[in-house]
Structure 1
Amino acid sequence: MAASIPSTMRASQWTTTKGGLDKTLTLNPSAPLPKTAHALPPDHTLVKVAYTTPNPIDYKLAEVLPFIFSKPATPCLDFSGTILATTLPHLKPGELVFGKTEPPAFGALGEYVVVAKAGCVPVPNGVSLKQAACVGVAGLTSYQCLAPHVKAGDKVLINGGSGGTGTFAIQIAKALGCYVTATCSGANAELCRSLGADEVIDYRVEDVVGTLKRSGRQYDLIYDTVFAAPALYWECHHYLKAEGKFITIAGTPSVGFLVEFLKLFLWPAVLGGGQRKLAFHTAASSAVDYEAIAKMMAEGKVKAVVEKEFGLERAGEAFAHLKSGRTKGKIVIEVAGE
């Protein structure tokens, strides 16, 4: 096995995040492979990475908690690519797979990555590696925030419908049979409608909370992908059913954020606090969930919206664009190609 696997790889890495990860990423043409690449642990797979996609967690964790990483560090969780070796009986070398690695390992911004069983599933027929690479965090997060909590006929509000998680969320909610309201800027309204949103609220020209109150609509689930305004939660008893849930995924791992977020959980309703169930969700790798998303993609019900593509040597530019907050859908970085 070791003879067919190289000892080095191309990878975009960082040794410091001072000034921002987007400014400190450097292409290393001879980075070492992951430590276990030549002697895989049980239930692990060595993948030659074709594409990866950056997510906010890639730079937020590195910039806030750089000391938890071994340097030089290779970011990115999402991947798609080809199996080189595996200790899993249901997978085989040469098979196309996708999924995500686990923090703090990351590593998908390099040509080779070792992935655990829960984060590695076959790419379905008819779905490209480029499309599959986008599912890792964003697709999985949206699926896990929606599928266990809604049923056909339910009403779902997606706050931030045009970003990476939002574009997946609209399509997954529609595939599950839900009525979908999405918020976004007017420039992205048509995109959200084209993905299946039944109603779009332009947050730049409308007061979202006021519009929701006036609508009289009662939602079964609110999925907040941006958490830009806490008022959306504080006031949600006006437009979220008593048994409904408010789920958010957004936030920065900092003391300030944790303090504000604890207020949302602990401030009593009798003193003006929230009156609906609030949950913060972090995606957990699940082969079963990835397979469900893959099925939706194979059936044409869900697709990745790719706004921009970059080569490995331009990974810093990809992160700069992601950090701008103006991304429509996903950004793809070609690592080794197909």
Structure 2
Amino acid sequence: MATNIPSTMRASQWTTTKGGIDKNLKLNPAAPLPKTATSLPPDHTLVRVAYSTPNPIDYKLAEYLPFIFSKPATPCLDFSGTVVATTLAHLKPGELVFGKTEPPAFGALGEYIVVAKAGCVPLPNGVSLKQAACVGVTGLTSYQCLAPHVKAGDKVLINGGSGGTGTFAIQIAKALGCYVTTTCSGPNVDLCKSLGADEVIDYRSNDLVATLKRSGKQYDLIYDTVFATPALYWNCQHYLKPSGQFLTIAGSPSVGSIVELLKVFCWPAWLGGGQRRLAFHTAASKAADYEAIAGMMAEGKVRAVVEREFGLERAGEAFAHLKGGRTKGKIVIEVAGGEYD
């Protein structure tokens, strides 16, 4: 176990989410370290966090289910930083690492975090800590939704290409050799094309379902990162191969969202329900998947699109920007990052 671990740390925390997590995050200059920081369980690592990035899950769970958290609570799953101490043989103090924790163990907006084996992997040469901090949820989710289900030459439709998950998805799909169609609003068309999308549909200027029907294309996989409306799924027999699959990651713990998801999952095809395979994917940390993404990044095939950066004291502003729903790519929050620059 490493020595010289301080007894407190800087952290951005909330005690209530009434009115939104963004209005309640406060910088605590003397927050306690994670309970196991000085007595690590087997296969865990204590990391000094350099950068983190917020994801929708960070505010949705806190705002819809605040009672599951001990207060004050420190949000965020994604991190990059330096190993302080570890019980893993393949890691050593001072090594640069990245990954994510697993809900409900958030905490990456604190200077120190304890991470399990599957969610903590070495940072490859050529990949910066800022870039790596963005991989945790969005990069991993897109990789797990694409890599096991497609092969070179397949056609993939990514609904929502300009957000954090979508920007990773476009690049990963191209790195896997796929033909990629994606959707976004007009101002983001050039961004999606710059990431490698073969075809971009502006959903504001076009009726998406009608456009897909007219195209005549048959996709091998539809990856819906937004699930703004179930219409894309209800009609997908017109543009998704019978052997294809419709994957979604979106939704919220609200009653309305849950009802819509239950409809698309449970309504039988013979009563007019969906006619293609549908799955809801939740990412789970897997070291091999992180290593595969990191390899793509080191080769220059994948990069995190970072729209804005915030300091730890401005974490509330970062969440407000994310909740606005118009973020291009990712938002990075510097926890102790300046010390690494």
TM-score normalised by the chain length of structure 1: 0.99
**Counterpart contact for 2:164–2:329, Cα < 8 Å:** yes
Task: Give, in whole Å, the separation in 2 of the partners of 1:136 and 1:302.
Answer: 14
| Matching residue of 1:301 | 301
Amino acid aligned to 1:7 = S
Structure-1 separation of matches of 2:185 and 2:10: 38
Alpha-carbon separation, structure 1, partners of 2:19 and 2:46: 33
CA–CA distance in structure 2, aligned partners of residues 31 and 107 of structure 1: 11
Q: How many residues are matched?
A: 338
Q: How does 1:286-297 map to 2 (within 5 A)?
A: 286-297=286-297
Partner of 2:79: 79
SS of aligned partner of 2:28 = strand
Aligned counterpart, 1:88: 88
Q: Which residue in the other structure is 2:123 paired with?
A: 123
CA contact (8 A) 2:9 2:30 kept: yes
Counterpart position of 2:323: 323
The root-mean-square deviation of aligned C-alpha atoms, in Å, is 0.6
Work out the CA distance in 2 between the residues paired with 1:158 and 1:317: 29
Counterparts of 1:271 and 1:232 in 2: how far apart (Å)?
Answer: 18
Match of 1:235 in 2: 235
TM-score (norm 2): 0.98
Q: In the alignment, what sits opposite 1:335? A: 335
Shift of 1:254: 2.4
Query: Partners of 1:260 and 1:73 in 2: how far apart?
Result: 30
Report what 2:198 is aligned to: 198
- Residues 193-227 of structure 1, C-alpha deviations (whole Å, 9 max, x = no match): 00000000000000010000000000000000000
Correspondence 1:1-338 to 2 at 5 A = 1=1, 3-337=3-337, 338=340
SS at match of 2:246: strand
Aligned mates of 1:177, 1:105 — CA distance in 2: 35
Distance 1:325 1:259 in 2: 22
Instruction: Note if contact 2:183-2:201 (Cα within 8 Å) is conserved in structure 1.
Output: yes
Deviation at 1:136, TM superposition (A): 0.3
User: What SS does the corresponding residue of 1:4 show, helix, strand or coil?
Assistant: coil
Q: Return the offset for 1:3.
A: 3.6
Local SS of the residue matching 2:187: helix
Q: Which amino acid letter does the alignment assign opposite residue 90 of structure 1?
A: H
Distance in 1, Cα, partners of 2:2 & 2:132:
28
The SS at the match of 2:104 is coil
The DSSP-based 3-state class of the residue aligned with 2:190 is helix
Further displaced range: 226-235 or 264-273: 264-273
One-letter identity of the residue aligned with 2:254 = S
Deviations 1:167-194, CA, capped at 9 Å, x for gaps: 0000000000000000000100000000
Q: Deviations over 1:237-282 (max 9, x none)?
A: 0000001000000000123222211110111112211000000000
Task: Give the letter for the 2:260 counterpart.
Answer: E
Distance in 2 (CA, whole Å) between partners of 1:2 and 1:47 is 11
Equivalent AA in structure 1 for residue 202 of structure 2: D
Cα drift, residue 115 of structure 1: 0.2
| Segment drifting more, 288-297 vs 263-272 | 263-272
**CA distance, structure 2, for counterparts of residue 68 and residue 56 of structure 1:** 17
1:19 is displaced (CA, Å) by 0.2
CA distance in 1, matches of 2:71, 2:199: 46
* Inter-partner Cα distance in structure 2 for 1:156 and 1:328: 21
| Partner Cα distance (2:170, 2:149) in 1 | 15
In structure 2, what residue type is equivalent to 1:19? G
Deviation (angstroms), 1:229: 1.5
Which segment is superposed worse, 263-272 or 179-188? 263-272
Structure 1 residue runs of 5 or longer lacking an equivalent are none
Gap regions ≥5 residues in structure 2: none
**Amino acid across the alignment from 2:211:** T
Q: Percent identity?
A: 86
Q: Aligned letter for 1:129?
A: L
Tell me, in whole angstroms, the C-alpha distance in 2 between the residues paired with 1:255 and 1:230.
15
Following the alignment from structure 2 to structure 1, what is the Cα–Cα distance between the partners of residues 315 and 208? 35
Spell out structure 1 runs of 4+ moving beyond 4 A.
none
CA distance in 2, matches of 1:254, 1:112: 32
CA distance in 2: counterparts of 1:3 and 1:303, whole angstroms: 35
Q: Separation in 1 of the partners of 2:257 and 2:240?
A: 24
